Structure 1
Amino acid sequence: MTTLQKVTVFGTGVLGSQIIMQAAYHGKDVTAYDITDEVLAKLPERYEWMRGFYRRDLPDFDEARFDRAIESITTTSDIEQAVADADVVIEAIPEDLDLKKSVWAKIGAAVPEHTVLLTNTSSLLPSSFADATGHPERFLALHFANFIWKNNTGEVMATAQTDPKYFDMVLEFSDEIGLLPVPVRKEVPGYVLNSLLIPWLGAGAALYANEVANPADIDNVWRTATGAPRGPFEVYDTVGFNVAYHINKNSDDPTKRKFAEILREGIDAGTTGIGAGKGFYSYDKDGNNLGPVEDWNIENRKGTQG
């Protein structure tokens, strides 16, 4: 059993809110941080959204335990208050290197000497912003998959500066919060999961951005020909448009930048995937796919008719 009981999560978006609940549901004392109280006020709605999935996906789901988890979570928009007693800080903010450096500098200046520092970055190398923390020896990555309660991998990846004792400690912590601990032995962007997933998603995005086929048709080909349960655009809806946008927007590849701009349209409209009830597909309150949103079809998009 580790001593990592008091958990602070930075970022309360689609994945951050899932991390908060995952830790709280498994008995950790969780503090949720975000930049404003208005953002934090959206958390109860996210918890209720997750409750339906927990109920559906976990055979041993305990309603009372879920309620206790919600009651145990505290929130704050004050960084010093958020980390004052933290045993571990988990950062789940957008994939923007400058933003991560800025936030980690503030966290690092305020954390106690014993606090373990974890990033959930999905595409950046932790070593590219380890020094910003001021404590690179206790900084490393713990990467969560979306729909954590079900897709419960915990990829643990250190940098060259990480003290090995923290690598072992975080593997054990991952198990304590219901994850399958996955030791990643060499620092690579994307860990194991995203090293496999991102090229596949990128191939789907390129087909659409280059107007080869519509999202639903691309997904249908993949599902039918491979027997896979979901195609790339169904996965984009699961991951959420914001994550994919930040990964693609500054790419050297013009096709990836073009796809980022397409995602930006959905973000601006508030249709960012399952969490919003609508992305490339529409969803009911239980997250069931109701069918493709035809506005995304190539023939329906402005300037592409004919």
Structure 2
Amino acid sequence: MSSLDNLTVLGSGVLGGQIAWHSAYKAKKVVVYDIDLDAIDRCRATHDQYAAIYLSEVGASEADIVATRQRLTFTTDLAAAVAEADLVIEAVPEVREIKSAVYRDMAGLLPAHTLLATNSSTLLPSDFAKDTGRADKFCALHFGNGIWTMNFAEVMAHPGSSRETLTQVTEFAVEIGMVPIPVLKEHNGYIVNSWFVPLLNAAQTLVTNGIARPEDVDRTFMIGGRAVGPLGMMDMVGMKTSYDVLALWGKELGDAQMSANADYIKERFLDKGLLGVPTGEGYYTYPEPAYAHPGFLDIPDIADLPDFVASMLPL
């Protein structure tokens, strides 16, 4: 058993909010920190949605939901957020400078025993180890979106991570119902995002370059039994995270198409305040996206084919 009973989650976005809620459901005492009160309000509202999901899909009782809420607190005060933390999981935006600044700001506020983990989806723990001020007590712990069903947690060390830190963090993952996935050496993208980001980038390229409509990209992925396509997944991940990842790696890799895909997301979604599932609209509208409607994958009526053909012809 780990001794990590008091968790602080830095960042109340999509995954931060999920990690906080699920850990509280699994009997951990959780503090959620964010610099933005509006973000905290959105997180609280999303937790209401999770309560309904856990009641209908996870087997939670009303008493479980009440207990989960009682284990959660929210704050914009960093010092207060980490004052009693046994483990801090960082889930702030996927921007190297933002993450580094958070670790530097936090370093002098932490109790001596506190362990740190980054939930970064593509950046390495060694990128931030020095900033933490406690490199031996730091590693990566990356969760999957939809944590109640995608219950895995990728554990990745950096050269300074101690065996005790890795043991405690892995035990924590098991205690909250995760299947721990060891990443055997540092690798940008870990395991899941090494295939997931290229999938999203390839799907976005088809849309950015006007080759296919979003719903048709998703249909080609969903026919055969998958519940959601790549553009629907992008809505679930959130447009801000999708933009951050594609913008970062477009620049890092000198990949003009990836950068163009990031620009497309910014112009079509972020600049209009559309964040995907968190705001109820992205490529689809929620809570009833078109891909979940009966008939989305049906063979079309022959009478509708003139419009189908017209879509492929020049204006």
TM-score by length of 2: 0.87
Distance 1:155 1:39, change over 3 A: same
Distance 1:185 1:207 in 2: 33
- Equivalence map 1:46-195=2 (5 Å): 46-58=46-58, 60-195=59-194
Distance 2:10 2:99 in 1: 11
CA offsets 1:20-49 (integer angstroms, 9 cap, x no match): 101100001111111033432333211111
Gaps of 5+ in 1: 293-298
Distance 1:287 1:70, change over 3 A: farther
Match of 1:35 in 2: 35
Distance 1:275 1:285, change over 3 A: farther
Q: Describe the SS at the equivalent of 1:169.
A: helix
Do 2:201 and 2:261's aligned partners in 1 also have CA atoms closer than 8 Å?
no
Do 1:52 and 1:286's aligned partners in 2 also have CA atoms closer than 8 Å?
no
Distance 1:29 1:287 in 2: 38
Do 1:4 and 1:87's aligned partners in 2 also have CA atoms closer than 8 Å?
yes
Distance 1:288 1:90 in 2: 33
Distance 2:70 2:2 in 1: 23
CA offsets 1:44-71 (integer angstroms, 9 cap, x no match): 211111122223321x222221121112
Distance 2:166 2:291 in 1: 38
How big is the shift at 1:263?
1.4
Match of 2:286 in 1: 283
Q: Describe the SS at the equivalent of 1:282.
A: coil
Match of 1:4 in 2: 4
Matched letter for residue 276 of structure 1? T
Q: Which moved more, 1:186-195 or 1:95-104?
A: 186-195
Do 2:228 and 2:291's aligned partners in 1 also have CA atoms closer than 8 Å?
no
Please identify runs of 4+ aligned residues in structure 1 that moved more than 6 A. Answer: 285-288
Distance 1:22 1:223 in 2: 28
Matched letter for residue 243 of structure 1? T
Q: Describe the SS at the equivalent of 2:8.
A: strand
Distance 1:38 1:283 in 2: 20
Percentage of matched positions with identical amino acids: 36
Match of 2:44 in 1: 44
Q: Describe the SS at the equivalent of 2:282.
A: coil
Distance 1:51 1:244 in 2: 26
Do 2:284 and 2:290's aligned partners in 1 also have CA atoms closer than 8 Å?
no
Do 1:22 and 1:177's aligned partners in 2 also have CA atoms closer than 8 Å?
yes
Do 1:284 and 1:290's aligned partners in 2 also have CA atoms closer than 8 Å?
no
Q: Describe the SS at the equivalent of 1:155.
A: strand
Q: Describe the SS at the equivalent of 2:210.
A: coil
Match of 1:296 in 2: none
Do 1:142 and 1:154's aligned partners in 2 also have CA atoms closer than 8 Å?
yes
How big is the shift at 1:123?
0.8
Distance 1:145 1:204 in 2: 20
Do 2:124 and 2:140's aligned partners in 1 also have CA atoms closer than 8 Å?
no
Do 1:171 and 1:181's aligned partners in 2 also have CA atoms closer than 8 Å?
yes
TM-score by length of 1: 0.90
Do 1:204 and 1:233's aligned partners in 2 also have CA atoms closer than 8 Å?
yes
Gaps of 5+ in 2: 297-309
Match of 1:199 in 2: 198
Match of 1:208 in 2: 207
Say whether 1:262 aligns with 2:264.
yes
Do 2:201 and 2:246's aligned partners in 1 also have CA atoms closer than 8 Å?
no
Do 1:249 and 1:256's aligned partners in 2 also have CA atoms closer than 8 Å?
yes
Distance 1:214 1:239, change over 3 A: same
Distance 1:151 1:276 in 2: 22
How big is the shift at 1:126?
1.4
Q: Describe the SS at the equivalent of 2:269.
A: helix
Distance 1:131 1:278, change over 3 A: same
The CA RMSD measured in Å over matched residues stands at: 2.2
**Aligned length, in residue pairs:** 294
Distance 1:40 1:255, change over 3 A: same
Instruction: Compare CA radii of gyration and give the structure with the larger one.
Output: 2
Q: Describe the SS at the equivalent of 1:156.
A: strand
Matched letter for residue 49 of structure 2? W
Do 2:31 and 2:81's aligned partners in 1 also have CA atoms closer than 8 Å?
yes
How big is the shift at 1:223?
2.0
Do 2:94 and 2:120's aligned partners in 1 also have CA atoms closer than 8 Å?
yes
How big is the shift at 1:285?
6.8
How big is the shift at 1:288?
8.1
